[in-house]
Chains A and B, each alone.
Chain A
Amino acid sequence: MSQRQVLQVFEQYQRARTQFVQTVAELAARPQNIETLQNAGVMSLLRPLLLDVVPTIQQTAALALGRLANYNDDLAEAVVKGDILPQLVYSLAEQNRFYKKAAAFVLRAVGKHSPQLAQAIVDCGALDTLVICLEDFDPGVKEAASWALGYIARHNSELSQAVVDAGAVPLLVLCILEPEIALKRIAASALSDISKHSPELAQTVVDAGAIAHLAQMILNPDAKLKRQVLSALSQIAKHSVDLAEMVVEAEIFPVVLTCLKDSDEYVKKNAATLIREIAKHTPELSQLIVNAGGIAAVIDCIGNCKGNVRLPGIMMLGYVAAHSENLAMAVIISKGVPQLSICLSEEQEDHIKAAAAWALGQIGRHTPEHARAVAVINVLPVLLSLYMETESSEDLQVKTKKALKNILQKCTYLPALEPLLHDAPPNILKYVIGQFSKVLPHDSKARRLFVTSGGLKKVQEIKAEPGSLLQEYINTINNCYPEEIVRYYSPGYSEALLERVENYQPVL
């Protein structure tokens, strides 16, 4: 045959290969096709195409592999078992930027499913090549490499340590400074995943000078970038007081408060998380946040959001109030308590209710003034009903009980305690009665009110073991009143009176 015919055969073959690989790549983009593709044995067919002569086929094959591995972890394991990774790593070092992007995509897709798969990627030496890719000129290559590194580092601290040991952190910090927004986002997310595991890793990230750059990027208008940046800062700040202080020194306040008013829900959530991680360490940091007006901003943010987005804000109020009574008073005057009670009643999820109950308990436990501020808004019956409900989770019950206990031990505002008298179970009742027994001996108006509202009657009906604390409290209360009144309200008094009427002999 002539030379042309021979060459035509090869051209046909190449065209067929190209078409096959491009179609597979397109099909793999849709999840419904992937099962069929897997059953048809696409993995074994794509493997040799990775080593193809034509670069385009290589790249498209890698892209198709990446999309397949992205879909679920069985396919990713198949990629690992099929010994494709070493080949990918080897060619990552050598090929052009399109191939690098596709190969990094495959590594990312494999590494995101589980720690074992990520460990497999680390074991075949991919980290060094990925770090080399981070130094490439093309921002797309950098983005793919940092995305892969981020997903690997996400799983646990050993993998994070491996990524840090490969020298990725300074390059990631340089990536953050690049002008492309997508690259910034991914680099920030990778830094956040690295620093979240342990204080040492966070310190490594801080030593590379990340905090200043991250703090500058809070002002960027892009919402997704802000999400990642705030998440990174909060992962750094959560480990220790020193790290939190370093984050604060980067002058994030009061700029962070503007993020609490962003239109994106997750930006608000991450900003509230950052403030919470800073506030929880020491009273001084909480004081700083209060002085910057952070409490008002967080309370407004809680008011505007619904659901899980509120949770970090609620916890932040709890942490601030837990440090000292002055800070708790600052929370109270910033109108935090009505907002927390709204959260308690509105929210459906138990963990958010538990957090709101805990926060209220921290606010109200310091002095009678604080307890009064919490009791005035009628949140105690709500807490009690949550405690008594059988559907509440155990965590919610424990937290509401603790909150009730803490508030009741300091509460001297009797009108709020009255409804509790009628509904509470015995272990809560003893605190309520205890408070009454402390207040009533000194206040005559309160005594009168106690009688007229039916409280004395209720107290007489309580059965308590003699010698127990509850009995002592009841005795103290009974001693505040003249004997006739106590006898009048004791149960069975009307029967006793009627019996006396029956046995009475009239004097004629």
Chain B
Amino acid sequence: MVTACTRVGRGGAGSMAAWVRLRAGLPTLLQECFHSNRLVGEYRKTEHAAAVKIQSWFRGCRVRAYIRYLNKMMIVIQKWWRGYRGRKHFRKMLKTAYFIMKMNFYNEMAVRIQKRWRGYYIRKYIHNYYTLKKYLEAVSLNNEIVRKELEEFAEMKEKEKEKKDLERKEKKKDHQARKMHYLLSTEQIPGVFNSPFRASPDSMELRLQKAKPLSHKHQQIKENLTQETSDFPSCTSSWTFPTVQPLPPIARQKPQGPFRDTAEVLLQRYKPLEPTLRVATSINSLEKAREEMKREEWRNRIHDNEFLPFSSCQKNQKYDPLINSSSKYGQITYGIKHFREEHHEKWVANKDFETVLPPIDLFDRHGKTYSRAGQIV
């Protein structure tokens, strides 16, 4: 329509023609307008859709590119982070593995120590085979000894019992013989136990010969040691006072006069000697003790060659004399020949001191040098 109008606008002269042309185009104008609008409208949608599509695609590309970029950055960050985490975890694992290895090692070493210790301890204290064996041997030995001793004891008891029985029988026979003393054989009549047809008289006959007739007055009291305590109390012996020490003799008349008590005097007179230690030791005790010591040493020695060397490595060693006692001219005599200074010109007599046991001052101080037998008690 616009073009039509412009065409009309330019050509004033030709404006009528233009207007005719325009009017001629009028019915189609509407259709053209309508169509062009419609087309536009139709195409608008598709074009719009296409434009949207293009734009969306482009935006999409942009966004995707952005996202891809972001993704890459993310990957980098995460890669580093995960690497860090993984290494940390690995270090931890390594540490624990090392620790476990050490503990295993320690455990094994501890097991070794404990194995030895337990074996030792149990074998020594809890179940010591060798002491147990020795103990059992000792027990069986002890048993043998006990058995033997008990057998001896039993035999001894048996013998005692037999002896007692025999004695009792003898006593009984003797008592019977004493009671039947009248059955003794005489010159005229041979007794019951001495039959003329026998070679030798019976033992009873011999007993009868030895027996003294029993007198009626002194009946022997039978001992009731084996009485049965079944019915009535058997302690039928009469009661006695408990035995005490015999009383001292009744004192005699004291002798008249200023006399001391006889007992005291006798005590004093017959008081035993109480020598002091100094008096009691013999004068030769020192020499005797020395000799005793020498004898003991001689006894305990294996051989009498004193000062034999005990190893042959010192056989050929030369003797090194002491520095102190050696001088330019050989050994000095001090320490070997004499130990103290002696001035012979100052001596009073030629004799040496006599060796006597020195007195013990403590005893002398208390005046007990001699015994008190003879002094008044």
Binding site for B on A (CB under 8 A): 29, 63, 67, 70, 97, 101, 105, 137-144, 147, 180-183, 185-186, 224, 254, 257-258, 260-263, 290-293, 295-297, 300, 326, 329-330, 333-334
Contact = CB atoms under 8 A, between A and B. Distances in A.
Given A261-B153, A263-B161, A297-B150, A330 B139 contact: yes
Interface in B114-149: 132, 135-136, 139-140, 142-147
A38 to B, nearest CB: 19
B154 A261 contact: yes
A297 B140 contact: no
B320 interface: no
Contacts of B236: 140
B234 interface: yes
B235 A257 contact: no
Interface in B205-260: 225, 227, 229, 231-237, 239
B142 A291 contact: yes
A291 B139 contact: yes
A138 B236 CA distance: 9
A105 B154 contact: no
Interface in B158-192: 158, 161
The DSSP consensus for interface residues of chain B is helix
Given A143-B233, A183-B235, A329-B136, A263 B157 contact: yes
Contacts, number: 87
A254 B147 CA distance: 12
Contact of A29 (B151, B231, B235): B231
Contacts of A300: 147, 150
Contacts of B154: 261
Which of B139, B158, B161, B225 has the most CB atoms of chain A within a 10 A radius of its CB?
B139
B153 A258 contact: yes
15 contacts: A105-B232, A105-B233, A143-B234, A143-B235, A147-B233, A182-B227, A183-B235, A224-B229, A290-B139, A291-B139, A293-B145, A296-B143, A300-B147, A300-B150, A334-B139
Contacts of A262: 157
A287 to B, nearest CB: 10
Contacts of B234: 140, 143, 182
A70 B229 CA distance: 14
A398 B150 CA distance: 37
Interface of B: 132, 135-136, 139-140, 142-147, 150-151, 153-154, 157-158, 161, 225, 227, 229, 231-237, 239
A325 to B, nearest CB: 9
Contacts of A326: 132, 135
Given A257-B146, A296-B143, 20 more contacts: A67-B231, A70-B231, A97-B239, A101-B232, A105-B232, A138-B239, A139-B235, A140-B236, A143-B233, A143-B235, A182-B233, A263-B157, A263-B161, A293-B143, A293-B145, A297-B146, A300-B150, A326-B135, A333-B136, A334-B140
A117 to B, nearest CB: 19
B146 A185 contact: no
A356 to B, nearest CB: 20
Contact of B146 (A63, A67, A296, A333): A296
Contacts of A185: 229
A254 B149 CA distance: 11
A143 B233 CA distance: 7
A49 to B, nearest CB: 18
Nearest to B140: A333
A333 B139 contact: yes
Contact of A261 (B142, B144, B145, B157): B157
A69 to B, nearest CB: 12
Nearest to A101: B233
B126 to A, nearest CB: 11
Nearest to A144: B233
Given A143-B234, A182-B235, A293-B142, A258 B229 contact: no
A138 B132 CA distance: 58
Contacts of B231: 29, 67, 70
Contacts of A186: 229
A297 B235 contact: no
